Amino acid sequence: MTAEHHSAAAATGHGASAPSGPAGVVDPWQLVRHGTDPAGFAQDESLFALANGTLGVRGNLEEADSPSQATLLSGVWERTPIEYHERFPGFASHTDTRLPVADATHIRLRLGDTPVRLEQGEWLQFERALDLRHGCYRRRLRWRSPQGATLEIEAERLVSLAAPGLLAIRYRVRSLDYHGPITLESSITTGREATGQGDDPRIGARLAGGLSNWAAHADESKAWVGQQTTHSGIRLVCAQRHQAEAGLALHGIDQTTDGVTQTYVGMLAPGQSVGLDKLVAYTFSAPFANDTTAALLAQADATLAEATALGYPALLERQAQVLAGFWAQADLAIDGDPATEQALRLNLFHLFQSSSRDGHAGTAAKGLTGEGYEGHCFWDAEVFMLPVLATLAPERARAMLAWRHRTLERARAHARELNHPHGALYAWRTIGGDECSAYFPGGSAQYHINAAVAWAIRLYVDASGDQAFLLECGAEMIFETARIWPQIGHFNPRRGGAFCIHEVTGPDEYSALVDNNHYTNRMAQRHLRDAAATADWMALSHPADYAALAARIGLGANEPARWRAAAQAMHLPVDAELGIFPQDDGFLDKPRLPAALASTPDHRPLLLRMHPLGIYRHQVCKQADALLALMLAGEQVEVAAKRRNFDYYEAVTVHDSTLSASTFAVLAAEVGYAGKAHRYFLDTLRVDLDDLHGNAAHGLHMAAMAGSWLALTWGYGGLRVHDGLPGLAPRLPAAWRSYRFGLRWRDAHLRVEVDGDGVRYTLTAGEALTFLHDGTPQRLHAGQSLQLPCAGFPAPPKAVVFDLDGVLADTAVLHRAAWQQLADEIGVPLDEIAAARMKGVDRRGSLDILLESAPRPYSEAEKQALAARKNACYVDLIGRLGPQDLLPGARAAVESVRRAGLRTALASASRNAPQLLDRLGIATLFDYVVDAGRIARSKPDPEIFLAAAQGLGLRPRECLGVEDAAAGIAALHAAGMAAVGIGRAQELDQADVLLPDIAAFDISRFIT
């Protein structure tokens, strides 16, 4: 149950990215599309949207109508009561919805008295482009009217990254063969309603109230409209001015119930053009504020006056300067894959432009690119978006956390709603700080949001060194949110005093109200430890500040000690059978979701096809909580354990969340799955470019876009934070010749360049930086570079070496029976512990284990005789074997290796291996066989596997071994081979890959 994988090359027709240079060449700095099918325009409006953290404008065509076009302001939202048939205490009382506001993008055309309606004419040539270097949206249309007039329309726009509420449009119309009057009607329209939700809760809203016009005015110099919300008490002003080229003059002014229009007229002849620069300013009040009309208009006038003085070219240059600083920090280059570099730049651009700048608003799941999720902010802002900004644009990360601090009082109120007498609980989905989800099992129960905020604060402070923020805001948030964990968890005497957390929902919303959700517990552990450490730091370094804060929030003197104790005792069990972290206490007891329910032809997510209870009763993940926990807080977990968790949860994850692919990409890279890492990387990279989830039309997925950068830097780059220091472990994917990215850490900037020769680190800014490379400290000074080797992904194996007993056939029971017969004959006890020790050990070594409990010593001659008696019994037993005695899937596993073009070998501790292979009917499937008769030392000595590799003519690292015994796993590792374990984690916890049986063996996972 993995996501369908797509590639850029699969895109055809409308929406396909097109080269912007010579044929077949993709420009990494521009997204260019040529499609003319209106069915795909809504997705393009999202992709070509412009924003600045306050204002967002979707990428429409100025002269055309579009039902999905919208202009959004981060601080303009409406409050709607939530109606319940049965309401219980603490249920969310209302939801807040971001509203589309007055739209000032429209410039209508007339040729003579005839309105230009693009859908009625012929589109001769159409191109639109998003310029990532300059931060503007350009498009060009060559169009022929039904009357035969041919025009070329060029438009360019920007949403200023330097002025919060400014939109600027440069609009030009050129005649190719038309002669006559032309009219440009530049308007502000207010008739747009919020998109209705329908049957998909991710899209649109059920809204009470909305925006209404409270004023409008137009004259020769300016036009404006004022709007206000019905319930949330927000007012806004949208005002416009124009700079017209010669030959275009103001002709008329119009006010209607839906807005205002300023009309310009001129004459066109073939080869001539007319042009208009349109400047638009937005201002708005805080909710329930008393901002006067005069104050809002004054702000808009000031913005327009500055923009008019600068003019469009200067505004564009200023835009490029802002972005130049950001791109210098990203320092991105990918040699050999310009389409991937383009997609990464696009994703970074949208994340940067949609992120909050002033701390007055959060960064919504869809940014400011659409109405999806009603404009709500979720925990993914801290977990996916903030880590990118913390190392590229730390001032944006600070603003995100400042918004959380502004809403801390609402988080305290939310905690009281859920019966917590002290502390703060951040809402699952919100705009102003209040919980906006009516479904508490999947909403308010997601207590992990507190840990996400605390984790993000620590990451930001580590990366930026901004201890002032920690003192002023961060510590208060960390402490108040940490106080919730002791209220929902306890030291459970039934689990040996482990700290258990009950009735919560993790990020995987396909399991709800569970005990000991692994993600929640692991992140709570990190949160509690950091809260205690922060308290210690403040008490020691800033005692007055600590005392004042503790007094203000009523923090008890012994609370930090309780936090530390809870963290130390946190319940993080490992399933003894599988060697994985159970997602929660009951997850592994449930049946897996039937394959027929897991997917549909239209790829609709389960949440739109099944009742929640039907989902909750199955072992199925929207996204894998345990893997996300290992990505964020798994530094102390061994890679082999991460690989086991990856293998298990990949099989039960349907990836209905756009957040899922990046987590799998990062973990796949870390555990060495090169092919999977690349496929999941492409999924998170192109989730909106290729509309992989079918809802890019409603806005872009900011966290998935951020996830593509994490897949690059955390996945391929191996970036993690260890005790406040950045650590890297770069790897080069096979698809690229080289790649480069930048990392801002404190006052330094580190360039990381990876190619076939290793990794080159260069300190491009700052005095010095200490970091880790593959766990080893390194230090660079200004301008210095350092070349180091990097591990790279393991090469695909060229051969597979199989053990026999317990892997391909259950001959171990025959050995056990033969040894038991001998033990009974000589009167020596043989218990299960001793029998388990014999597993994988040769005949003489097994005899020594048996005789440890003998009542008398045996001579060497006696031992040889005993070994011969045991073997005679064993040979008699194997004479009864046949192909039917192969373990299920054994023959298919070996045959699949040969079909894949790999060689095969058998390495068995049995001296009867050739006879066994003949009896089982698989002797011809092996290129080389090594048994105990060819070696001097038994497992765990690597001799048998080294001999197998030599017999195949390969180096040991080119071979993959399959074993069912701990001694065999140890021998494989000693030989330098990767080890696949067949059996239980209790016995094979050192295996690189663990499978329950040979039927689960899939060679494709190791060669793709």
Amino acid letter for position 264: Y
910, 858 contact by CB (below 8 A): no
* Separation of alpha carbons 773 and 766, rounded Å: 19
* Separation of alpha carbons 596 and 611, rounded Å: 16
* Separation of alpha carbons 624 and 607, rounded Å: 16
Q: Does an H or E element contain 99, and which?
A: strand 94-100
> How many other C-beta atoms are found inside a 10 Å radius of the C-beta of residue 777?
11
Backbone torsion region of residue 151, taken as left when φ is above 0, otherwise alpha when ψ lies between -120 and 50, otherwise beta:
beta
Give the β-pairing of 55-57 and 50-51.
antiparallel
Where are the alpha helices (H) located in 696-831, listed in sequence order? 702-710, 812-826
* Separation of alpha carbons 922 and 918, rounded Å: 6
Angle at alpha carbon of residue 778, lines to 774 and 782, rounded to 5°: 135
Q: Which residue has the tokens 């698809």?
A: 735
* HEC assignment per residue over 420-462: CCCCCCCCCCECCCCCCCCCCCCCCCCCHHHHHHHHHHHHHHH
800, 902 contact by CB (below 8 A): yes
Query: Residue 166: CB partners within 8 Å, gap ≥ 6?
Result: 52, 55, 159, 160, 279, 280, 281, 282, 303, 307, 315
Q: Which residue has the tokens 């039937």?
A: 594
- Return the beta strands (E) in 245-338 as ranges: 248-256, 259-268, 273-284, 333-335
674, 978 contact by CB (below 8 A): no
Please state whether the peptide bond connecting residue 942 to the residue before it is cis, i.e. omega within 30 degrees of 0.
no
For the question of residue 509 being annotated catalytic, the response is: yes
CA atoms within 13 A on the CB side of 676: 23
3-state secondary structure of 220: coil
Residue 576 φ then ψ, to 5°: -65, -30
> How many other C-beta atoms are found inside a 10 Å radius of the C-beta of residue 666?
31
> How many other C-beta atoms are found inside a 10 Å radius of the C-beta of residue 936?
7
Amino acid letter for position 452: A
* HEC assignment per residue over 330-393: HCCEEECCHHHHHHHHHHHHHHHHHCCCCCCCCCCCCCCCCCHHHHCECCHHHHHHHHHHHHHC
448, 506 contact by CB (below 8 A): yes
Q: Using CB atoms within 10 A of its CB, is residue 483 exposed (0-12), middle (13-18) or buried (19+)?
A: buried
* Separation of alpha carbons 305 and 292, rounded Å: 20
Q: Tell me which of 374, 509, 650, 958 is the catalytic residue.
A: 509
* Separation of alpha carbons 445 and 612, rounded Å: 15
* Separation of alpha carbons 425 and 422, rounded Å: 10
Name the strands in the sheet holding 166-175, side by side, starting at the edge strand that comes first in the sequence: 30-33, 122-131, 136-144, 150-159, 166-175, 273-284, 235-244, 223-229, 211-218
For the annotated catalytic residues, the residue numbers are 509
